[in-house]
Amino acid sequence: MKSMVIMFRHAPLGTTSTREGLDFAMLSASFEQEVSIIFTNEAVLHLLAGQTPEQAGSKDYVAAFKALSLYDIDTVLVCAQSMQTLGMQPNDLSITATVATPEVITQTLQAADEVLVF
């Protein structure tokens, strides 16, 4: 078993980057890897409630973020600095996640066996 961090750094819906990264995260977790997820930059917008991705020609992969705990993905970090930049408050987060300073994210990256950025 390896500890893997999957980091999302791209905005929702404009690309399929996060969607394909999420597939990898859930698959890794189902293969008994220790998976953590980090949202940074515009990827933090994935966590806003009330999205209707189909209207923008995208599958509603955003809804799948609510299922992360079912895959035993319990560590979900959201970059505090990115949230501040985009005017997001902790109560804007539609899933259970930890708002983390860049220092905490630095430590998380250091501690992982592998980090994949999508």
Figure out which of the listed residues 4, 44, 76, 78 binds another protein, where binding follows CB under 8 A. 4
> In degrees rounded to 5, what are phi and psi of residue 37?
-125, 140
User: Quick one: which segment of 25-33, 44-52, 65-73, 84-92 binds another protein (CB under 8 A)?
Assistant: 25-33
Q: How far is the CB of 7 from another protein (least distance, A)?
A: 8
Q: Please report whether residue 114 would count as binding another protein according to CB under 8 A.
A: yes
Instruction: Tell me, letter by letter, the H, E, C secondary structure of the chain.
Output: CCEEEEEECCCCCCCCHHHHHHHHHHHHHHCCCEEEEEECHHHHHHHECCCCHHHHCCCCHHHHHHHHHHHCCCEEEEEHHHHHHCCCCHHHECCCCEEECHHHHHHHHHHCCEEEEC
Q: Which stretch binds another protein (CB under 8 A): 28-36, 44-52, 62-70, 87-95?
A: 28-36
Count of residues that bind another protein according to CB under 8 A? 28
Binders of another protein among residues 59 to 88 (CB under 8 A) are: 79, 81
Inter-residue contact 3 to 112 (CB < 8 Å):
yes
Shortest Å, Cβ 116 to another protein: 7
In the complex, the residues that contact another protein under the rule CB under 8 A are 1-2, 4, 9, 16-17, 20, 23-24, 27-28, 31, 33, 40-41, 79, 81, 102, 105-106, 109-110, 112-117
